[in-house]
A = this chain, B = another copy of it.
């Protein structure tokens, strides 16, 4: 298998993982490799504005899971009919089962007052953090691990839970761990929530709307 094929295999096998965690711990050397991949991400003005908080305390995992379940109910209450029924079947997190949460934060003060490339687009720092998350996710996939990005939470709750200072914004809770398998079909498609679109539907030539 060529390196190029290997790379695309990783891209296409990556899944948002919820139900498949085995609960086994991630080997320390594997965890270091996926964190190093995250830390090798591009960042605006080389500010590397990310932080990673590794959470394994069962008590903290349970507290976060309980909060996420409240937010799940809150979203569920806004749905009706088929949408409500379909959502009911979908598992949205594997927080306790994975045994490891990686909370990713964005520190806009990292790199000093003059960030090269951020003066016109303040969110460019936030974009850097997400590049690190995607590197981590792909690296975990290459290592045979599952990753589930949980976004059913309030930022102030998570910030307080892991004692992030006010300047650091929580960007993600990632459930990370060994999995029995990675499904071929994304959960949301399998459960009939939504189907993937063809590439052509988001491509434009020279100007938006021109195909």
Binding site for B on A (CB under 8 A): 1-12, 14, 16, 32-33, 35-37, 39-42, 44-48, 50-57, 60, 71, 74-75, 78-79, 83, 87, 90, 92, 105, 111, 114, 116-121, 123-124, 126-127, 130-131, 133-135, 137-139, 142-143, 149, 151-155, 162-165, 168, 171-172, 186, 188-189, 193-197, 199, 202-209
The reply to whether B10 and A3 form a contact with Cβ atoms under 8 Å apart is yes
The reply to whether A194 and B78 form a contact with Cβ atoms under 8 Å apart is no
- Rounded to whole angstroms, the CA-CA distance of A134 and B168 in the bound complex is 22
The reply to whether A87 and B116 form a contact with Cβ atoms under 8 Å apart is yes
The reply to whether B87 and A151 form a contact with Cβ atoms under 8 Å apart is no
- Chain B residues closer than 8 Å to A52, beta-carbon distance: 202-204
Contacts A131-B133, A151-B118 known; A53 to B208 CB distance under 8 Å?
yes
The reply to whether A207 and B74 form a contact with Cβ atoms under 8 Å apart is no
- Chain B residues closer than 8 Å to A154, beta-carbon distance: 120
Tell me how far the C-beta of A22 lies from the nearest C-beta in chain B, rounded to whole angstroms.
Answer: 20
The reply to whether B194 and A47 form a contact with Cβ atoms under 8 Å apart is yes
- Rounded to whole angstroms, the CA-CA distance of A131 and B137 in the bound complex is 10
Tell me how far the C-beta of A148 lies from the nearest C-beta in chain B, rounded to whole angstroms.
Answer: 10
The 6 A-B pairs at the shortest CB distance, nearest first, are namely: A3-B6, A130-B130, A134-B134, A6-B6, A7-B142, A163-B207
